Amino acid sequence: MQTGEEKKIVTHTKYFSPDISHDGNKIMAVETDPMTESKLVLMDMSGNRLDSLAKPDIFFSNPKFSVNDQHCYVAARNLQGEMALLRYGLNGTHSVDIFLPFSNRIIGFITVQRDTILFTTTYKGRDEAWALIDGKERKGPYRLASYATGLYQSAIQANGELLSSAFTADGYRLGTCKPDWERVEIKNELASLFAAEVYKNSDHLLLNELSVQPYAITKYPKSFHLLNIHSYRPFYEPPEYSFTLYGQNVLNTLQSEIAYTYNQNEGSHKLGYNGVFGGWYLQPVFGLSQTWQRTATSAKDTTFNWNELIGYAGLQLPLNLSGGKQYRYLTLSTTFNTEQVKWTGLAEKLFRNANFNYISAKVVYTGQVQKAVQHIYPHWAQSLVVQYKSIINQYAAHQFLATGSFYLPGLAVNHNLVFSAAFHTRDTLQQYLFPNNFPFARGYSAVDFPQMWRFGANYHIPLAYPDWGFGGIVYFQRIRANLFYDYTMGKSLRTGTLYPFGTVGTEIFFDTRWWNQQPVTFGIRYSHLLNNEFRGSTQPNVWELILPVNLFN
C-alpha cells in the first residue's frame, strides 16, 4: 500500500479468499476444483505449495492466519449446510480445534486482531458482529453489535470502539459503536426451508397410477428458434436513420441483426442481415444487404443512381485479454465480399453494370480500467481500429484506415482528457471508391482525399447533475461540456498540395436514460472553422445537433 507495487504470484489456478501471514512470507488460500471440493493451501510468496489440507464433505471459506502464524482460522460448511468456525494447525500435524460447532447459521468475514477473532454471523434475522477470544483460556462467543442491514468486516479500534461496514441505501458505509460483549451460546438460527411431507399420499395417487412409457431420445435441434427476435432499436446517426431487429437462438450460438437504413444524403434505402455463429472458437460471420437508389453527383445539374447488392462471409476471432486492473478485448476478422452494381435511370444508358469481389481485414482493440459512475470516461483507456480493403478481380481499388483514441484523467476527479488520431489512404484510379469512414475535422463538409491525417484533443467537464426525470419517460443524469480542437490534413497525390482543416469549439451533452433503461446522450456543438472549406463558401461559425453519442458504456 505504501509503495504501490504489485506482484503476480501465481496464475491458472482456482484460489479464493487469500490471506497473507503477519511475517509477509506465506499465503493461505482456498482451492476449489471443478467438482466443487475445496482444500486449504499454504504457499510461499513465489506460489510454491508448502502444505495443503482437505476434509471430506467440507467446504472451506475465508481463511485467516493467527497472530503468530502457527494456526489458521477458517469457516467450514458441511453437506447439511451447517457452518462452523475451525482452527487448523500449520505445523504439519494438521491439528483441528472446533471454535464454534456446526449449526444451521451463516459465518463469514473473519478478521484477526491479536487474540481476538471477529466474524459476522446470523442472529435473530440479522447479520451481526461477533467475537471469540483465543488466549490462554478460550472465551466467547460474544455478541458485539447489531444493525438492521447487517455488519461486516469488523475491527476493534485502539479506543475500544467497533468499526464495521454497514449496508445503506447509498451503499456500504463505515460506522463505529461501543461493542456490547454480550456472552451468547451458539445455536441454530436458520429455520429449515423444507417440509418433510408436502402432500398427503392420497393427494398424488393419480400420478402414481400413471403408466411409464418409453419416449425416443433425440438430439436437440440447433436450428430451434434460429432467429428468435428479442429486441429492436430505432437509431439516428447523421446522415442515417435505421431500425434494427436483434435476435439470438435458444442455444445462444447464433446472433442476428435485421436492419433497415435510410440515408438522407443520398436518399437511398438499405435492407440487410448480419449474422455471427458463436459455436466455435473461430467464429464465422456472414451477411447480405440490398441498397436501392444510391446517388452520386457528377456535375451541378447531373446525378446518377444505382442499386447495390452486397454479400460477405468470413471469420472473426474475439479474444478477451483482460487482466490486472484493465479490461482488454482484441478482435481479428477478415471477410470475403462480393458486390453487384446495377445502374438505373440515365446512368443505365451510360455505364455498364459491374460485379467485383474484395477482401476486408480488420483489427479492433479496446482496453480500459474500471469506470466510476460519475466518471465521463475511464481514467485510462485505449481504442484502436485498423481496416484494409482491396478488390481482387478485374478492377483495382484499395483503402486503408486507422483510427485510435487515448483517454486520460483531467485536472479534477471527474474530468477527462481525450486524444484521438486517424490516418487514411486510398488509390486514385477511380475504378471504385469504398465508403469513406474517416473522422473529418468537426464543422467541415467531409472530403475524400487520397491521403488524410487527423489529430483531435478533447477536454470533458461535468457541469451539473440534475437528477430529474419526467413521468418515467426520460431521466436527466448529467449535463457536461467538451472543449475540443481538431486538425485534419488532406493531400492531393496528383499535385502534392496539402489542404489544412482546423477547428476549435465546444459541445454541450445531456446524458439521459429513456424509460429508465436505455442510455442516450445528445447535445449541441459549436465549431469555429480556422480554415476555408474545400468546396463552396465558408461559414466560420457552425452549429450542429448531436444525436446520440455512446462511446464507452
DSSP of 132-169, one letter per residue?
EEESSSEEEEEEEE--TT-EEEEEE-TTS-EEEEEEET
Q: Is the Cβ–Cβ distance between 275 and 256 less than 8 Å?
A: yes
For residue 511, how many other CB atoms are within 10 A of its CB? Answer: 21
b/e map 518-540, b = 16+ CB within 10 Å? eeebebebebebbbeeeeeeeee
At 535 the pLDDT is 81
For residue 315, how many other CB atoms are within 10 A of its CB? Answer: 16
At 470 the pLDDT is 87
Helices (H) and strands (E) in the chain, counts: 2, 33
d(CA 423, CA 384): 12
Q: Is the Cβ–Cβ distance between 44 and 88 less than 8 Å?
A: no
DSSP element (H, E) containing 383? strand 381-391
Q: Is the Cβ–Cβ distance between 312 and 339 less than 8 Å?
A: no
At 553 the pLDDT is 33
Strand order in the sheet with 107-113: 107-113, 116-123, 126-134, 138-145, 182-183
On whether the pTM is more than 0.75, the answer is no
User: H helices within 274-401, ranges in order?
Assistant: 347-350
Neighbouring residues of 27: CB distance < 8 A, sequence distance ≥ 6 = 9, 18, 19, 20, 21, 42, 43, 44, 45
Q: Is the Cβ–Cβ distance between 253 and 221 less than 8 Å?
A: no
Q: Which CATH superfamily is domain 15-183 in?
A: TolB, C-terminal domain (2.120.10.30)
Helix, strand, coil tally for the chain in percent (to 5): 0, 60, 40
Residue 169 identity: A
Q: Is the Cβ–Cβ distance between 164 and 151 less than 8 Å?
A: yes
Q: What is the pLDDT along the chain (553 residues), one digit of tens a residue?
A: 888 888 889 888 899 999 999 989 999 999 988 877 899 999 999 999 999 888 888 999 999 999 999 999 999 999 988 999 999 988 777 888 999 999 888 999 999 998 999 999 999 889 999 999 998 778 889 999 999 999 999 999 999 999 999 998 888 999 999 999 999 887 777 766 555 666 666 667 777 778 888 889 988 887 888 889 998 888 776 667 889 999 999 888 999 999 999 987 678 899 999 999 998 999 999 999 999 988 766 655 677 888 999 999 999 999 999 988 899 999 999 999 999 989 898 888 888 888 889 999 999 999 999 998 899 999 999 999 999 999 998 788 999 999 999 999 999 999 999 999 999 999 988 777 787 788 899 999 888 889 999 999 999 999 999 989 888 889 999 999 999 999 999 998 888 999 999 999 999 999 998 887 778 888 999 999 999 998 888 899 999 988 765 433 3
DSSP element (H, E) containing 45? none
Q: Specify the 3-state DSSP secondary structure of 408.
A: strand
Please provide the size of the chain in residues.
553
Q: Is 475 left (phi over 0), alpha (psi -120 to 50) or beta?
A: beta
d(CA 385, CA 407): 15
How is the chain split into domains, by residue range? Answer: 15-183, 224-352, 394-553
d(CA 485, CA 502): 7
At 552 the pLDDT is 39
Strands (E), 240-301: 240-248, 254-263, 268-277, 283-299
DSSP element (H, E) containing 219? none
* Closest of 133, 180, 173, 135 to residue 151, by C-alpha: 173
At 194 the pLDDT is 59
At 297 the pLDDT is 62
What radius of gyration do the chain's Cα atoms show? Answer: 33
